[in-house]
Amino acid sequence: MVHVTGLRGALRRQLDLSPIVVRAKDGEDYTLRPIEPGDAASLIRGYDAMSDQAKWFRMLHPVPHLTDEMARRFCSPDRDRDLCIVIIGHGQLLGEILGGARIAGEADGRRAEFSVSLRPEAQGLGLANQTLHMVLQAAKEMGYERVWGVIAVHNSAMLSLARRLGFTMHPDPDDAALIDAAIDLGTLASREFPGSQVSFAERTLIDPN
């Protein structure tokens, strides 16, 4: 289990050094780390495990299967502009990607787009909250001022999560089936936890939702 101190300004460096372990609602510990090029096959398997609706919510258009090229691209983000943190499974899904959260930076260096996806086995455990918050906090460190995304109007779980994290919501002016969500990272509440000898997993128990 990783022990960290002074997360503010150091989260991405910590992720680069070693995975971080978080505690989920089921009482189990899960490993979070940046995505790697070698994750492509696991990413494809994880996507195939998702329902058709979940795939639509993630892509916002029909993508029944990730091609090898698509998976390789997702697994090779631009380190200067992007970040994808994945959740690693255990037990029967040992080593498999259960899902994750991603930001893709825009050329102006001020805005980034976010996305979240989970295999069905990882839903309802609070892992989306922890992973998305972690990626937003890293985005703030990277100098981004605003993170935005588009959410399907029927994706109630993602809309609820975004509201809890402080996103503002507005109907998409061009598509009634979509909601535009954005957060000013200056308003993001950093998860700072006292006690240098307390693991990140134990500290995130304050808000595992």
pLDDT, tens digit (0-9, with 9 covering 90-100), for 50-85: 999 999 999 999 999 999 999 999 999 998 899 999
Mean pLDDT along residues 150-166? 97
Q: In this structure, is residue 209 part of a structural domain?
A: no
Mean pLDDT along residues 89-101? 95
Q: How many domains does the chain have?
A: 1
Please give the Cα distance from 33 to 174 (Å, whole number).
36
Mean pLDDT along residues 120-148? 94
Q: In this structure, is residue 201 part of a structural domain?
A: no
Report yes or no: 11 and 2 within 8 Å, Cβ to Cβ: no
Give me the half-sphere count of Cα atoms (radius 13 Å) on the Cβ side of residue 195.
Answer: 9
Quick one: tokens of 115?
């996305």
Tell me what pLDDT residue 199 has.
41
Give me the half-sphere count of Cα atoms (radius 13 Å) on the Cβ side of residue 46.
Answer: 27
Please give the Cα distance from 47 to 64 (Å, whole number).
9
Domain membership of residue 74 as a residue range: 11-189
Which of 11-15, 68-72, 119-123 comes out lowest in average pLDDT? Answer: 11-15
Judged by DSSP in three states, 186 sits in helix
Paired strand residues for 183: 147
Question: What's the full length of the chain, in residues?
Answer: 209
CATH number at residue 182: 3.40.630.30
Element (H, E) at 98: strand 97-105
Q: In this structure, is residue 149 part of a structural domain?
A: yes
Render pLDDT for 176-203 as a digit per residue (tens, 0 to 9): 999 999 999 998 877 642 222 234 444 4
Q: In this structure, is residue 170 part of a structural domain?
A: yes
Cα–Cα nearest to 93, from 137, 141, 52, 127: 127
Tell me what pLDDT residue 9 has.
52
Cα–Cα nearest to 84, from 75, 93, 92: 75
Q: In this structure, is residue 204 part of a structural domain?
A: no
Instruction: Please list, in sequence order, all residues whose beta carbon lies within 8 angstroms of the beta carbon of residue 139, skipping any fewer than 6 positions away.
Output: 83, 103, 105, 112, 147, 185
Helices (H), the chain: 11-17, 40-49, 52-59, 68-74, 127-141, 156-165, 200-203
Tell me what pLDDT residue 18 has.
85
Render pLDDT for 20-52 as a digit per residue (tens, 0 to 9): 988 999 999 999 999 999 999 999 999 999 999
Unique residue bearing structure tokens 């090229």: 69
Q: In this structure, is residue 1 part of a structural domain?
A: no
What does the mean pLDDT of the chain come to?
A: 87
Q: In this structure, is residue 6 part of a structural domain?
A: no
Q: In this structure, is residue 15 part of a structural domain?
A: yes
* Confidence category of residue 2, pLDDT binned at 50, 70, 90: very low
Tell me what pLDDT residue 46 has.
97
Instruction: Please list, in sequence order, all residues whose beta carbon lies within 8 angstroms of the beta carbon of residue 59, skipping any fewer than 6 positions away.
Output: none
